[in-house]
Structure 1
């Protein structure tokens, strides 16, 4: 059984907070049963999976990043070139923040599923690298990664820690080789998603007999098409997130609550 615009902002409104499910809730038990009966599970994660780690999402009513800044001013490729200092004034604190954050139990639950041979891969819209930090090995980053930055001139690349040393007195990260502009390796508005990653994501979704959607509003295209691809190929969908999604009515299991509690509870029931 199995099932071009882009938005680099992970996923917008799928907060990972809320009243938690536990192992006795029917929806969590149903999720555990679905995981137990599936052979090819693929996870699809959005910003909500990292909210419990202290990384804010983008458009939550109270805490979303876009509540205080217009993404068209700081998160487009045009803005990067037009006002590089303004771009880095916004992005540099995010570099520092991500360096300090650690995976939460939702990340760890996905690692445990992989360890048990019940999760083939994690497709993520997140750029924070927390899935890899937790121990997931088959991670497909469809919006790039903040873990590295590259020179837009010569292509030289630096790690997250190394990028912190590239800022001069003007607050702009500059290449040490050619003095070109340095940009984090994330997909900005106006840039195409990495073709190889999207091809891999579509292939995984088409082959999955269960697409486990965690912390995602499932509204950011083209990634939002993946659950439909799984369903069209005969697979099932499970949605674990706080806010509504377009797939709530067709999902085989829908769990609303704190992803850092609900997902580990389901794994514990396996």
Structure 2
């Protein structure tokens, strides 16, 4: 009998327990920077060195962090289920915990891309992209991050996986970032739906979604048994 499919939409809350700061703090800044200065094509054109340094520091920070219990539980669930993780996070903590099928909606810190052709993507050796690091077309390499105003190339793949879910879990995200938040609309009606977050949003939730108001690791410890009992 084929394994049942668990599709997970994860956000900053799951990485926060590993020491990675959330994308947007309550003051609207990301690591004390205006979001549009470091996460938009306009910011890149205005101050390329600032953007490169910002992501170099984020990359270094992420490499110093370790997967937490929530990441490990999701990886462990692959023993019984087909687990597809759709993440808004740009770190590689899911992969380092052992998850084998991860879709990064907003790009990956551990990779660079051509500033001419976004389809040219390269692994980063170490934690820095330096000025003068060029792609095969001769253009400067930039972070492999989906910035504001850019297309989200993995959306169709994510929607296709969500549409085949037996279980669907939203964890560590406010459901306010689009188009990622719209993925839940494609989950089959018969699928069991769960949400884990320290603060449950008061909107955009289907009535059949089971909410667990806890941090990611604590919520998953509870949910792991529920899903395996259903399985």
TM band (smaller chain): 0.7 to 0.9
Q: 1:176 to 1:250 in 2, by over 3 A?
A: closer
TM-align CA RMSD: 2.6
The Cα shift of 1:235 comes to 2.5
Q: Deviations over 1:220-244 (max 9, x none)?
A: 111111112215x432320001123
1:262 aligns to 2:226 (yes or no):
no
1:207 aligns to 2:160 (yes or no):
no
Q: 1:177 to 1:113 in 2, by over 3 A?
A: closer
SS of equivalent residue, structure 1 residue 207: coil
How many pairs align?
Answer: 223
Highest relative contact order (Cα 8 Å, sep 6+), 1 or 2? 1
1:192 aligns to 2:192 (yes or no):
no
- Relative to total residues, which structure has the larger strand share, 1 or 2? 2
The Cα shift of 1:108 comes to 0.6
- Relative to total residues, which structure has the larger helix share, 1 or 2? 1
Q: 1:176 to 1:121 in 2, by over 3 A?
A: closer
The answer to whether the 8 A contact 2:6-2:167 is kept is yes
The answer to whether the 8 A contact 1:149-1:163 is kept is no
1:146 aligns to 2:87 (yes or no):
no
Gaps of 5+ in 1: 1-37
TM-score by length of 2: 0.85
Q: What is the 5 A alignment of 1:1-270? A: 39-61=4-26, 65-66=29-30, 68-117=32-81, 119-153=82-116, 157-162=121-126, 164=128, 166-167=129-130, 172=131, 174-175=133-134, 180-194=139-153, 197-230=154-187, 233-245=189-201, 246-248=203-205, 250-268=207-225, 270=228
The answer to whether the 8 A contact 1:103-1:130 is kept is yes
The answer to whether the 8 A contact 2:56-2:127 is kept is no
SS of equivalent residue, structure 2 residue 9: strand
